Structure 1
Amino acid sequence: MSDSVQSVNRREFLKSAAFVTAAAAIARSAPAGQPQTLARRKFGRTDIEVSVVGFSGLMLSAMTQERADKAVARAVEHGVNIFDVAPAYGSAQEKMGPALKPFRKDVFLCCKTRQRTAEGAAKELKRSLELLQTDHFDLYQLHAIVDPVKDVEAALGRGGAMETILAARKAGQIRYIGITAHTTEAAIAAMEKFDFDSIMFPLNFVSFHTGDFGPKILQTAVSKRMAVLAIKPLCRQEWPSAEYRKASRFRNMWYEPISEPAEAQLAVRWALSQPITTILPPANEEVFFLGVQTALECRPLDEQAAEQVRALAGKLKPLFRAGKVIG
């Protein structure tokens, strides 16, 4: 198939796939005197509804327990009901367990494993359940899939992590199974080998428009009726220079986040006008709650805003782009 035909097909797909999302309400109406809360969308093929903004547990690793408790409670107050964490996120599991305990029955809790063997995954799953003070995960994901052989074949093959995950699902410790991927090749390979319920993948307007990173994954996931969890929706670009990064208050982040409200509006409007289930803003408290507030005020992307998105994307260097591997 020629590049021009592929481009046309993608445009037609996105126009039709902005289907329900563009038309759907982005903020939920609230009773008089009650705070407005985030809209919800169905989690893939299920009837479960999750908030259009999810909580990245990584941000808790740098917090005290008291601050973590407040951040989680504030997110819940705004209507966030999907929380994601992983063993790789430092002390995040230890912090999220107590912070989320008062709300556990009302939220959709996601965890992950970077283990590729059944034995390693079993140990990690057991420890995660203990730290998060829960008897089950609503979603358990193979974490950081990058290589079709080292990650996909290893985890899905004999003696691989998937054996543990399937056994845990049968035992009621896991409800749904997903993947998080950082390359198109690995994501497609995984989706071809197993019927996952969800995929977590970097999706933002800069990488999508100028890095050719995301369209194929999004199209494949939608065709399989998978939930799409978009990470890096408020990623602006690679740091332009070491000096620029050093002068930024976000210098500890490995990429430049969107922190200006006007740009955040464009980024969130673009993301929520795609067939995306949930966006997970960066693991920075300030940027996360900017994403939440922007989503609360968000409306579907119109042609004028779409043109602004394309123009801005053309000025920035995408963090994720075709051919670049980040793992």
Structure 2
Amino acid sequence: MDRREFLRNASWTAGLAGSAGYLAALAPTRQLQELGGRPAVQGADAPGATRSGDMIYRMLGRTGERVSAIGLGGAHLVNRLSTDETVHIVRSALDRGMNFLDNSQGYSDGESEVRVGKALRDGYRQRAFLMTKCDGRTRAAAAKQIDESLRRLQTDHVDLLQLHEVIRLEDPDRAFAEGGAMEALQAARQAGKTRYIGFTGHKDPVVQLRMLSIAQQHGIIFDAVQIPLNVLDAHFRSFGTEVLPILVRDGIGVLGMKPLSAGEIPRSGLASAIQCLHYALTLPTSVVITGCENMRDLDQAFEAARTFRPMNPEEIASLLARTRTAALTGKLEQFKTTDRFDSTAHNPQWLG
């Protein structure tokens, strides 16, 4: 089934699109002004949001968990870094109030989890909201990866466990099939290996909508979903337009990823890194996850939090107008248009 056929045949999209929040989000600038009849922006003065030091804290959907509005990405914690440098970055982030830590079983073949596990010794685990991901599509493969992640992270549980890279139209069906990965995630939660469950995807919003629909058919509402949200996304295969309103409507924690599009946006001169982070923070996100390959990157993330105020409609319109032409080709969001960022395409054995 190709994307066009899927959209034509998927009658359930009409139900999702019927919500006021979805219709309000069809225009990118309006998406930021209203979402389901309420303000979309989540500044420090938004309900449930607080500020302490240089960090903003928001609620993770309906979970009641208070998490840092900017989270530390795990994929960048090995690149050009020694183990000691990784430990220093992670502990510095936690010391300064960035409590949300992202990771995955496949990041640098598990080395990112190993290093974070070392960083979380000496009481640091208790200060972190720890998330990791598994890639297996079968129950057996996913369960094995979950246990291996816990061993590498040196913990008996994570706070959030997500099914990684739901990027193919068949991925939701595989995950929810008998003996599929969702059985492993639910079993992990029942066994106390995770408190919450979610999934991620970066390729096409239609896949995320299908995952949410099939989950609903099985009586499951995810605690969190991780999607790309940046100044280019509003114009091309937009997760912000198509998926974000559904997550907000259902009280699902929104984890925004790729706010800088792997650095392509600031490198292109379209927007600065701080502007990119402010844009993503202006959306109704619980956490915006950003990679930090050095202390300068970490300082930049805290500066973005410290100086953040929700962007007004005029600022948003100007930024989106500036990025529209570059965004429409998809070349600056290669995670949508190529397999460069598809770790399961390069490591199909992970799928099981």
**Range of TM-score over shorter length:** 0.7 to 0.9
Look up the match of 2:11.
none
Look up the match of 1:121.
142
Letter of the aligned partner of 2:285 in structure 1? Answer: I
1:181 aligns with 2:207: no
**Counterpart among 75, 92, 96 of residue 58 in structure 1:** 75
- Cα gap change, 1:143/1:224 in structure 2, threshold over 3 Å: closer, same or farther? same
Alignment of 1:62-73 (within 5 A): 62=79, 63-73=81-91
The percent of aligned pairs where both chains have the same amino acid is 29
The CA deviation at 1:304 is 3.6
Look up the match of 1:231.
257
Alignment of 1:1-327 (within 5 A): 10-11=26-27, 12-17=30-35, 19=39, 21-25=41-45, 30=52, 36-62=53-79, 63-90=81-108, 91-101=111-121, 102-149=123-170, 151-182=171-202, 183-194=204-215, 195-209=221-235, 212-235=238-261, 256-258=264-266, 263-285=272-294, 286-317=296-327, 318=330, 319-320=332-333, 324=337, 326=339, 327=342
Give the secondary-structure state (helix, strand or coil) at the position aligned to 2:159: strand
Measured in 1, the distance between the counterparts of 2:205 and 2:193 equals: 29
Structure 1 residues without counterparts, runs of 5 or longer: 31-35, 236-252
The CA deviation at 1:179 is 0.3
The CA deviation at 1:38 is 0.8
C-alpha RMSD of the superposition: 2.8
Measured in 2, the distance between the counterparts of 1:315 and 1:116 equals: 37
- Cα gap change, 1:323/1:79 in structure 2, threshold over 3 Å: closer, same or farther? closer
Q: Deviations over 1:194-230 (max 9, x none)?
A: 2211111111011213554431110111111100101
Q: Deviations over 1:41-69 (max 9, x none)?
A: 10111111100000111122232121011
The CA deviation at 1:22 is 4.2
Contact 1:266 1:309 in 2 (8 A): no
Give the secondary-structure state (helix, strand or coil) at the position aligned to 1:177: strand
Q: Deviations over 1:137-181 (max 9, x none)?
A: 1110000001131x2111111011111111111111111110001
Measured in 1, the distance between the counterparts of 2:291 and 2:157 equals: 26
Contact 1:212 1:322 in 2 (8 A): no
Measured in 1, the distance between the counterparts of 2:229 and 2:138 equals: 28
Deviates more, 1:220-229 or 1:58-67: 58-67
Letter of the aligned partner of 2:318 in structure 1? Answer: Q
Contact 1:232 1:281 in 2 (8 A): yes
Deviates more, 1:74-83 or 1:10-19: 10-19
- Cα gap change, 1:325/1:152 in structure 2, threshold over 3 Å: closer, same or farther? farther
Letter of the aligned partner of 2:172 in structure 1? Answer: V
Contact 2:33 2:41 in 1 (8 A): no
The CA deviation at 1:24 is 3.2
Deviates more, 1:305-314 or 1:183-192: 305-314
Contact 2:258 2:290 in 1 (8 A): yes
Deviates more, 1:18-27 or 1:65-74: 18-27
Give the secondary-structure state (helix, strand or coil) at the position aligned to 2:232: helix
| Alignment TM-score, normalising by the size of structure 2 | 0.77
Structure 2 residues without counterparts, runs of 5 or longer: 1-13, 216-220, 343-352
Deviates more, 1:72-81 or 1:260-269: 260-269
Measured in 2, the distance between the counterparts of 1:73 and 1:180 equals: 25
Letter of the aligned partner of 2:231 in structure 1? Answer: F
Give the secondary-structure state (helix, strand or coil) at the position aligned to 2:165: strand
Measured in 1, the distance between the counterparts of 2:254 and 2:130 equals: 15
- Cα gap change, 1:42/1:291 in structure 2, threshold over 3 Å: closer, same or farther? same
Contact 1:40 1:49 in 2 (8 A): yes
Letter of the aligned partner of 2:61 in structure 1? Answer: G
Measured in 2, the distance between the counterparts of 1:227 and 1:53 equals: 13
The alignment covers a number of residue pairs equal to: 301
Measured in 2, the distance between the counterparts of 1:309 and 1:40 equals: 25
Letter of the aligned partner of 2:246 in structure 1? Answer: T
Letter of the aligned partner of 1:64 in structure 2? Answer: S
Letter of the aligned partner of 1:10 in structure 2? Answer: L
Q: Deviations over 1:98-121 (max 9, x none)?
A: 112231112110011110111111
Contact 2:68 2:287 in 1 (8 A): yes
- Cα gap change, 1:157/1:94 in structure 2, threshold over 3 Å: closer, same or farther? same
